[in-house]
């Protein structure tokens, strides 16, 4: 019995050393050293049982600064809980959440590298195309100017969405969406939450299908900046531009290629190859595009808040043949 207890104790003591090699590139205290209280978290059924063998990069996430559900502080705490080592916060057309996140990481001494990010809405051939800026300086005058324009466009679009919904028997949509958005710029996700609240649909997917997706009554054709304007502002801010979730635009293979070619011509750097949830061959196909067009590869959960099917840092890995967007980071 005493032997069994001693073997168990030795095993427990050795756990922090098992993975120490993998984490040397990411200095900071081990998770076990830090008392973190996470009262807001639901039970983490899908949390990994042990430290990951490799640092987890999650380069796409949202906070209450746009249409996410967690504060920046809650988001970085959850990222640590999920064993993420490098997190990019990429709110829609705003960098407003970044300062609080950085402050929380240093105040709580969290073992997490924050990448300053943004997800910029652009208009291309009548589609809303999202461009991620990774590693940007949020104070950059080019970025500040672009995001100020985007905020005005977002507000005008929200008013137009509300007008269209009003004509379709959905009253007070602007005030309803604004109540969900708070200080954040109004997104379609905020309208969707309001429509669910007043019983126009039973869930988010249904609301988009019925009212907010391309071609539906509440949809307003995109009037955002161009892809080139977004990429240029990202570069002037010292960051890299990644084409977000290329498979989510409902483009045929031919049109998706056109988009990628256009993005490359506009000096885009990377495409998002891995997400938490993808069709069986999607990741492989996106990796092929990355190779073919000499683009770096990114990965991200597009986490908006706790939900059953998606989590920070989960199921994210890149096929061997692509070059990760982070290859020159931390050098």
Residue with tokens 């007070």: 172
**From the list 78, 113, 130, 193, which residue makes contact with Mn ion (rule: CB under 5 A)?**
130
What angle in degrees, to the nearest 10, is found between the helix axes of 98-107 and 72-81?
Answer: 50
User: At a CB cut-off of 8 Å and minimum separation 6, what does 253 contact?
Assistant: none
Q: Which two tokens stand for residue 162?
A: 């509300």
Q: How far is the CB of 81 from Mn ion (least distance, A)?
A: 21
Q: Whose Cβ is closer to ligand AMP: residue 101's or residue 189's?
A: 189
Say whether residue 178 binds ligand AMP (CB under 6 A).
Answer: no
**From the list 63, 95, 122, 187, which residue makes contact with ligand AMP (rule: CB under 6 A)?**
187
Q: Whose Cβ is closer to Mn ion: residue 208's or residue 326's?
A: 208
**From the list 70, 86, 189, 325, which residue makes contact with ligand AMP (rule: CB under 6 A)?**
189
Q: Which two tokens stand for residue 328?
A: 């020159």
SS3 219: coil
User: At a CB cut-off of 8 Å and minimum separation 6, what does 191 contact?
Assistant: 158, 161, 162, 165, 173, 176, 177, 207, 211, 212, 218
Neighbours of 3 (CB within 10 A): 7
Considering CB under 6 A, how many residues would be counted as binding ligand AMP?
Answer: 11
> Footprint of ligand AMP on residues 30-69 (CB under 6 A)?
67
Q: How far is the CB of 320 from Mn ion (least distance, A)?
A: 26
Backbone φ and ψ for 308, nearest 5 degrees, come out as -70, -25
Planar angle of CA 138, 141, 146, nearest 5 degrees: 85
Say whether residue 302 binds Mn ion (CB under 5 A).
Answer: yes
**From the list 73, 77, 85, 121, which residue makes contact with ligand AMP (rule: CB under 6 A)?**
121
Q: How far is the CB of 188 from ligand AMP (least distance, A)?
A: 4
Say whether residue 123 binds ligand AMP (CB under 6 A).
Answer: no
Q: Whose Cβ is closer to ligand AMP: residue 159's or residue 328's?
A: 159
| Alpha-carbon dihedral sign for residues 207, 212, 217, 218 | positive
Q: Whose Cβ is closer to Mn ion: residue 67's or residue 229's?
A: 67
Q: How far is the CB of 112 from ligand AMP (least distance, A)?
A: 23
**From the list 153, 228, 304, 315, which residue makes contact with ligand AMP (rule: CB under 6 A)?**
304
Q: Whose Cβ is closer to ligand AMP: residue 210's or residue 288's?
A: 210
Residue 301's Cβ-side half-sphere holds a number of Cα atoms within 13 Å equal to: 27
CA 68/CA 281 separation, integer angstroms: 28
Binding site for Mn ion (CB under 5 A): 67, 119, 130, 244, 302
Binding site for ligand AMP (CB under 6 A): 67, 92, 121, 128, 187-189, 204-205, 208, 304
């Amino acid at each position: 019995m005493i032997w069994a207890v001693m073997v168990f104790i030795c095993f427990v003591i050795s756990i922090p050393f098992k993975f120490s090699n993998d984490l040397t590139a990411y200095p900071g205290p081990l998770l076990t050293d830090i008392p973190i209280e996470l009262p807001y978290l639901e039970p983490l059924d899908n949390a990994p049982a042990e430290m990951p063998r490799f640092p987890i990069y999650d380069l796409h996430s949202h906070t209450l600064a746009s249409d996410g559900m967690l504060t920046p502080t809650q988001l970085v705490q959850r990222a640590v809980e999920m064993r993420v080592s490098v997190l990019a916060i990429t709110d829609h057309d705003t960098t407003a959440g970044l300062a609080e996140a950085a402050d929380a990481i240093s105040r709580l001494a969290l073992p997490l590298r924050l990448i300053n990010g943004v997800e910029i809405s652009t208009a291309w051939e009548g589609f809303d195309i999202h461009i991620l800026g990774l590693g940007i300086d949020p104070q950059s005058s080019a970025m500040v100017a672009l995001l100020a324009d985007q905020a005005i466009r977002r507000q005008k679009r929200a008013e137009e969405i509300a007008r269209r919904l009003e004509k379709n028997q959905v009253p007070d949509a602007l005030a309803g969406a604004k109540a969900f958005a708070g200080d954040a710029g109004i997104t379609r996700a905020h309208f969707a939450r309001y429509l669910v609240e007043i019983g126009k649909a039973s869930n988010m997917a249904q609301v988009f299908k019925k009212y907010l997706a391309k071609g539906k009554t509440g949809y307003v054709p995109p009037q955002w900046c161009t892809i080139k304007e977004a990429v240029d502002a990202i570069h002037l801010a010292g960051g890299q531009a990644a084409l977000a979730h290329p498979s989510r635009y409902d483009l045929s293979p031919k049109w998706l290629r056109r988009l990628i070619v256009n993005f490359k011509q506009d000096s885009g750097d990377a495409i998002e190859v891995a997400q938490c949830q993808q069709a069986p061959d999607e990741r492989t196909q996106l990796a092929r595009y990355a190779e073919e067009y000499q683009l770096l590869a990114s990965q991200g959960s597009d986490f908006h808040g706790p939900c059953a099917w998606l989590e920070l840092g989960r199921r994210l890995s890149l096929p061997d043949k692509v070059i990760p967007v982070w290859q020159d980071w931390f050098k």
